[in-house]
Structure 1
Amino acid sequence: MVMKEEEKEKEMIRVREFDMERDLAAVEELERRCEVGPTTAAAAAAADDDDDNQNKNKKKKKKNKNKRAISLYVDQLGDPLSRVRHAPEYVMLVAEYGEKKEMVGVIRACIKMVSSGRPSTSPLMAYVKVAYILGLRVSPSHRCLGIATMLVEDAERWCSAAGAAYAYMATTASNSASLSLFTRRLSYAPFRRPVLLGHPVHAHLLPLRIPHHSILRLPPPLAAALYSHLLPSSAVELLPSDLPSLLSHKYTVGTYLTLSTSSSPPSFAILSVWDSTHILSFRVAGSSAATRAAVSLLRAADTFAPWLHLPSIPNVFLPFGAYVLYGLHMSGPDGPHLLRSLCRFAHNLAVRNPSCGVVVAEVAPADPVRAAIPHWRRFSCDEDVWCIKPLRSNPIGDDDVDGWLASPPSTSNKVMFVDPRDF
């Protein structure tokens, strides 16, 4: 009897591709009711397939019902496809429920060719087509129906038909519900643990500690040629094959290089800046009135007395966007100092954009650039978990898949290229 009821419920769910004209209002309303962060909508959506997680979540909510929770909300700025439409290939699926075809779930996926990090002597392909699964949302009133599973499986089928050999997704180590859905039910395996480093945008400019004129803005063709030399596909994972297009994209603010010949060998640092404020914005909710007042007062003091160089933060309780640093690389004894100054330069670019509240970068844990990136602990996260799954058996003629599936996330010493379009 229970099985028949479950089958009946599934028959009432229909997954199809998103239609902007038809679905925009319903999807925006669904997104408004979903939060991200420590207790994410994706986590709750994942938990709809796990009774144990549901029971744990209910107990936790009951235990903490008197505690004020801080949540992070995302606004797609009127374009539900904003996070994927800049990829070479993409799709967005929606789930409808019942005869009234109520909008109850969404998921997005983008596809691109990326480097596998194999040695140049390997006979296997240097690039492989992968899909990135993101933006999973399920209506709070329609969980425990298997909607999340159906959305992910349909997204995987679409990506596989488009030629993707693998699919990967990102979550956090504390998000047990999401990890349970993807690793236990959907056969994903953890493969990388990048570190997200964030720095709030102050009202004042940060000192560069290098001459401003020594920072060069590279034309996209020159930047692409330099990156191809500095970041060969044999040494870097997930480097997109369309990097030249990314560097010349309208949302790439620029690629910046600084050099120092005072050391031997000469030192340099390079990075590119992506403006995601046109794509999505964030908003923090649930904090106390005292916290809000303190943030406002500190910001006001920094605005009217910039010579004090107070470490003010933006009003994160109103919508704010982000600048994403990518392609970070340094070399030579002065490399860390130069890269730190370049990151400060990027911060100062963000100060001029009133929509930008934070500058972020995501790198591999063992990447040397990690130590040179200015960041605040409260704006950073070291518990990201990326999980991957082959979409067909022996997808590229290599059972080991250069360690993506064979090695634990902590064992990789490869440099990761984190595409800002995935942010």
Structure 2
Amino acid sequence: MGSEDKEISTVIRVREFIVEKDLAAVEELERRCQVGLSGDLGDDGHGGGGGGGGGGGCATSKKKKKKKRGMSLHVEQIGDPFARVRHATEHAMLVAEYGEEDEVVGVIKACVRMVSRGDTSSSCCCKRKMKFVKVACLLGLRVSPSHRRLGIATELVRRAEAWCEARGAAYATMATTASNVASLALFAGRFAYAPFRRPLFLGHPVHRHRTRLPRAHRVMQLPPQIATAAYAALLSPAGAAEFVPADLPALLAHKLTLGTYLAIERNPDPALPPSFAVLSIWDATRSLRLRVGGAPPLLRASLAAARALDRHAPWLRVPSVPDVFRPFGTYLLYGLRMSGPAGPALLRSLCRHAHNIARKNLACAVVAADLGPNDPAGAAVPHWDSFSCDEDVWCMKKLNASTANSNASDDWTTAPPAGVLFVDPREF
């Protein structure tokens, strides 16, 4: 440890979060950071700088900025501070104290979980068993705006990595946006994380009116046990999927998973391969509040007028957008898969079905999905550009050569993308 590190350690103390002692201070820290969807730390939404200002969100956090209008999406975490990591058996929240007054000026969350790594090195594509590896997820890094550039974020990340490595994590992941220079400087620069995957966030507003489904399509809800078997068959071929959680049955049976739905054709053409689509719906309205900022006054006024017209003349079925300029909730779609010539149409029907479920919840204003950039399902998911994002950057680092295969050809950080990028909604 150099003299600079020794000096930092004398003023920065990192320890585990204590609910009774730290909850109020961490909640105040979250408010002061004015967090955007990317988990950025800066008041302007781009994060701070230097060793104390970088920020990393969870592996599914998003931010969308429209260059011409300056519109952006922002998020606020609500409820249980451990909500995004509690599902993992091994999880922690670390806080940083600074100075003689023991003021909480920083926080980071971490969890260690088993996920599939989409092994593409096998030459046999008929293998049905996924390869799992222990991965750490670092998220929710926050540093008080008045204490940045002091090495606080650096110390938090260093301690979080050590905590995860001690529990056998072979890799560590974090996420940010391509425009978050400070976050990339911290993780990619100081800690040698490498850009890994670029997921797409596709969002669609929830209208007041029910969306009609084609009569030729039939939608059925699958019990969790059958849904687990279905996903096992769809995701199990070697190299087919990355980040599928080992506890997928628990996710599908979770109280916030509103259901797994299968769409098929009522009268399929026997001369064509069978078609189907499947997805699951997660209720994120209890843990997240989103908001659109930076919208021009004319746009706000026009959308308000559309809502007023829809209220007074509902028979016109005006597709009025909810008031997204105030905090709103969202339903997250995960596990989107499709097959067959009618697969895209069936998946669109499932997205419409999810919309119809969401419109029954007044707290939900947007239905969204996270997909890999090369996933063909992305072209079938209805979405609005204003509620979508393509700037996310997942970064990964190999933590321990003794737990990860030391063979360079087997290094996940340099492996090409698998066919499916599975995004766990519990960590959004």
What TM bracket, shorter-length normalisation?
0.7 to 0.9
Match of residue 181 from structure 1: 186
Give the distance between the partners of 1:268 and 1:415, measured in 2 at CA: 17
Match of residue 118 from structure 2: 117
Give the distance between the partners of 1:402 and 1:416, measured in 2 at CA: 19
Distance 1:96 1:233, change over 3 A: farther
Report the alpha carbon displacement of residue 114 of structure 1 after superposing the two structures with TM. Answer: 0.6
Give the distance between the partners of 1:39 and 1:224, measured in 2 at CA: 31
Report the alpha carbon displacement of residue 89 of structure 1 after superposing the two structures with TM. Answer: 2.6
Match of residue 48 from structure 1: 50
Give the distance between the partners of 2:318 and 2:298, measured in 1 at CA: 19
Match of residue 56 from structure 1: none
Report the alpha carbon displacement of residue 12 of structure 1 after superposing the two structures with TM. Answer: 1.3
TM-score by length of 2: 0.86
The aligned amino acid for 1:78 is G
- Of stretches 155-164 and 276-285 in structure 1, the one that deviates more from structure 2 is 276-285
Give the distance between the partners of 1:110 and 1:302, measured in 2 at CA: 45
Give structure 1 stretches of 5+ with no counterpart: 54-66
Match of residue 244 from structure 1: 249
Give structure 2 stretches of 5+ with no counterpart: 55-67
1:402-417 residue pairs with structure 2 within 5 A? 402=410, 404-407=412-415, 412-417=417-422
1:357-396 residue pairs with structure 2 within 5 A? 357-396=365-404
1:34-183 residue pairs with structure 2 within 5 A? 34=33, 35-37=35-37, 40-41=40-41, 47-49=49-51, 72-118=73-119, 126-183=131-188
Give the distance between the partners of 1:108 and 1:164, measured in 2 at CA: 15
- Determine helix, strand or coil for the equivalent of 1:33: helix
Kindly indicate which of the two structures has a greater share of residues assigned to helix. 1
Report the RMSD for the aligned CA atoms in angstroms. Answer: 2.7
Report the alpha carbon displacement of residue 237 of structure 1 after superposing the two structures with TM. Answer: 0.9
Give the distance between the partners of 1:247 and 1:285, measured in 2 at CA: 33
The aligned amino acid for 1:378 is S
Give the distance between the partners of 1:416 and 1:105, measured in 2 at CA: 31
- Of stretches 242-251 and 291-300 in structure 1, the one that deviates more from structure 2 is 291-300
- Of stretches 376-385 and 42-51 in structure 1, the one that deviates more from structure 2 is 42-51
Aligned counterpart for 1:262 among listed residues 234, 253, 268? 268
Give the distance between the partners of 2:69 and 2:84, measured in 1 at CA: 30
Give the distance between the partners of 2:177 and 2:237, measured in 1 at CA: 27
Aligned counterpart for 2:220 among listed residues 184, 205, 216? 216
How many residue pairs match? The answer is 403
Match of residue 233 from structure 2: 229
Give the distance between the partners of 1:404 and 1:83, measured in 2 at CA: 24
Match of residue 13 from structure 2: 14
Is 2:371–2:378's contact at 8 Å kept on the other side of the alignment?
Answer: yes
Report the alpha carbon displacement of residue 161 of structure 1 after superposing the two structures with TM. Answer: 1.3
Distance 1:71 1:381, change over 3 A: closer
- Of stretches 389-398 and 121-130 in structure 1, the one that deviates more from structure 2 is 121-130
Report the alpha carbon displacement of residue 118 of structure 1 after superposing the two structures with TM. Answer: 1.6
TM-score by length of 1: 0.87
Aligned counterpart for 1:274 among listed residues 264, 268, 282? 282
Is 2:241–2:421's contact at 8 Å kept on the other side of the alignment?
Answer: yes
In percent, how many aligned pairs have the same letter? 56
Match of residue 423 from structure 2: 418
